[in-house]
Amino acid sequence: MHAVHAPPAMPNAFPPFEDESDASSVMSTSTRFPSAATSATSHDLEMRSASPAPSVYSMTSSLRAASYRREYGRGINNYSEVYRLPADDEEFERLDQQHIIFMEVMGKYPPPLAQILADDTPGEPKTCVDLGCGSGSWILDVSRDFPHCSTVAVDLVPMQALNMPPNMRSEVDDINLGLQHFFGDFNVVHARLVSSGIRDYEGLVDQMSQCLRLGGLLDLTEFDFRVYGVDKNPILTEGVSWLAQWMNLCHDAVHRNGGEPDAANHLRRWVSQSPVFEEVVYREFWFQTSPWRAGTDAATIRQNRISHVFRDDILAFLRSGRPLLLGSGLSEEVVDEVEENARVELLEARTQTYIRVENVYALRRRD
């Protein structure tokens, strides 16, 4: 193992869980998506659909070629210059595993979701959309848990589910272009970890509010591309943590590309100040970046177990960040150095740092 050195100056460029209960682990029902499967989409590859009515496309080599391009060894979407993280099988596998961690720590769904999607309104099928669905883990679970609902997965690349539930369709779209074709269509609107690809997140919140039916649920989860110390403050200075330095470089790269890396810190205010929403609930979750806690009590064992898996997610994210960082103008030498030392720091599990994940959910007013 390489020694970790104090981070040098670079060019411009968490505390215990609130809930200490030892909740049972949950497994996602989602599956890995082979590239030869069929996807339903409303995107005709040249022009966005004016309505949510789906067309059916086979995941042919020509469609795949139109959806992706290779950059720095990874598959990147071909439609947005803002979102520069991968959209390939390796990234989808990472997101699938991340979904399992999030379910255990945050719960599978926000508490109001089950009631809102209940099959209790004759003649009015319930509907749910996942904006920026990634691997599709979350929306696939909703589709299977609520088979009477109509669900829509929206992303910059087509879904490749081998056994997509019959109540689900995939749409290829850049949500930065607006959601007018979805206004008034959904009982639940969900988005998770999309801020790096969003130009105007506050404007997106307004657009999402208009997609909701009266009494519908908005559910947003983001993180701010920062690493935190035990004092709950972000580590912004160099020489403290290689992982923090790597994440700060990502934060700067996202901002330069036009994304909103700090959106997580504003979700609560944006939703609370909107006259459209009521019963706004804010939650924050602090994830250890590695299993560095000492102790044999149940809470410590649980946190270290979760952080062991979460560390694997971060290690994979280090690889995912290469197109973002290299594409932002950083040299390969700089990226390699910071990435490798961040990797060693995580594996040695001596630096006590956290990732902060923020969640807001709220109901659209009925009046």
Q: Position of tokens 């994440």?
A: 247
Is residue 104 a part of any domain in this protein? yes
Mean pLDDT across the chain, nearest whole number?
85
| Count of residues in the chain | 367
Domain that holds residue 150: 38-364
Is residue 15 a part of any domain in this protein? no
Is residue 165 a part of any domain in this protein? yes
> Cα–Cα distance between 264 and 225 in angstroms, integer?
9
Q: pLDDT exceeding 70 applies to what percent of the chain?
A: 82
- Classified as helix, coil or strand, 161 is coil
Is residue 325 a part of any domain in this protein? yes
What are the residues whose beta carbons fall under 8 Å from the beta carbon of 21, sequence distance 6 or more?
none
Q: Position of tokens 């369709």?
A: 169
Q: Position of tokens 């929206």?
A: 154
Comparing CA positions, the residue from 357, 134, 191 lying closest to residue 264 is 357
| Alpha-helical runs (H) found in the chain | 61-67, 89-106, 113-116, 137-145, 201-211, 242-257, 267-273, 298-320, 322-327, 332-348
Comparing CA positions, the residue from 130, 123, 162, 167 lying closest to residue 145 is 167
Give tens-digit pLDDT for 300-312. 999 999 999 999 9
What are the residues whose beta carbons fall under 8 Å from the beta carbon of 2, sequence distance 6 or more?
340, 341, 344
Helix, strand, coil % (nearest 5) of the chain?
35, 20, 45
Give tens-digit pLDDT for 168-219. 999 999 999 999 999 999 999 999 999 999 999 999 999 999 999 999 999 9
pLDDT confidence tier of residue 157, bands split at 50, 70 and 90: confident
- Cα torsion angle, 192, 194, 195, 201, sign: negative
CATH number at residue 320: 3.40.50.150
- Position 25 scores a pLDDT of 29
Is residue 99 a part of any domain in this protein? yes
311-to-87, 178, 323, 324, 342 alpha-carbon distances in Å: 21, 35, 20, 20, 11
Q: pLDDT exceeding 90 applies to what percent of the chain?
A: 72
Q: Are 344 and 1 in contact (CB under 8 A)?
A: yes
pTM, 2 dp: 0.84
Q: Are 198 and 267 in contact (CB under 8 A)?
A: no
- Position 158 scores a pLDDT of 83
pLDDT confidence tier of residue 95, bands split at 50, 70 and 90: very high
Is residue 199 a part of any domain in this protein? yes
Q: Please state the domain count of the chain.
A: 1
Is residue 23 a part of any domain in this protein? no
DSSP 276: T
Q: Are 345 and 4 in contact (CB under 8 A)?
A: yes
Is residue 332 a part of any domain in this protein? yes
What number of H helices and E strands is found in the chain? 10, 11
Written as six digits, the tokens of 305 are 């177990």
- Position 305 scores a pLDDT of 97
Give the other-Cβ count within 10 Å of 16's Cβ.
14
